[in-house]
Amino acid sequence: MTITGIYNIFGFNLHRVQLTENLFLDEYIPFQMYKRYITRGDGYYGWGENYLELLCRKINKNLVESDQKLRDVFGAVTINNWWHGGGANFRGLRYVGCGVGTELSDHYQGNASDKHFKDYDAWEVRDYIKKQWRQLGITIVEDNVSWVHTSVAWIPEQTKLKIIYP
């Protein structure tokens, strides 16, 4: 975790946190949650200045590592893009009451992300994942959608990639 600076985003001074060579915390955390904990915290002062760490702990490290591996192969990727003024906000972590998906989704545990790659379509990326899922650390992929949904959730005694259909 590296703080790369403080930026004014939508009128709020927010720290940008680099997680890997190419991926940032804001790509996984929704704007409302990021803003709340970075600017005000939750009123529990025992955590002191560790709100950035607390937000990082909401995202499974294996998810970030697998997304970075995909980024290394396929290039530029978009998960959440609210930091840059885009509309994608719940493609990483989701919180109860956000109104997106089901609360049983792996997004609610920080185990899943939805992404688009700039130069590759979702089908090309999924074909690669289906062959390399173990090396990537991916346990679940969603099929027949225009984005790439992957999860690193633990599946007991997993012997093959779990493919889900929305």
For the record, the structure tokens of 19 come out as 């997680």
Per-residue b or e along 136-149, where b marks 16 or more CB atoms closer than 10 Å to that residue's CB: bbbbbbbeeeebbb
Q: Alpha carbon of 57 to those of 51, 63, 109, 111: distances in Å?
A: 10, 12, 10, 11
The reported pLDDT for the residue numbered 40 is 55
Domain residue limits, the chain: 2-164
pLDDT tens digits, residue range 146-163?
999 999 999 999 999 999
pLDDT tens digits, residue range 79-105?
999 999 999 999 999 999 999 998 899
The reported pLDDT for the residue numbered 140 is 98
Q: Which amino acid is at 60?
A: N
Nearest CA to 76 out of 23, 14, 37 is that of 23
The reported pLDDT for the residue numbered 49 is 54
Phi, psi values for residue 151, rounded to 5°: -135, 150
Low-confidence ranges of the chain (pLDDT < 50): 45-48
- Note the CATH architecture for domain 2-164: 2-Layer Sandwich (3.30)
The reported pLDDT for the residue numbered 34 is 87
Q: Alpha carbon of 140 to those of 116, 120, 151, 154, 164: distances in Å?
A: 17, 20, 5, 9, 7
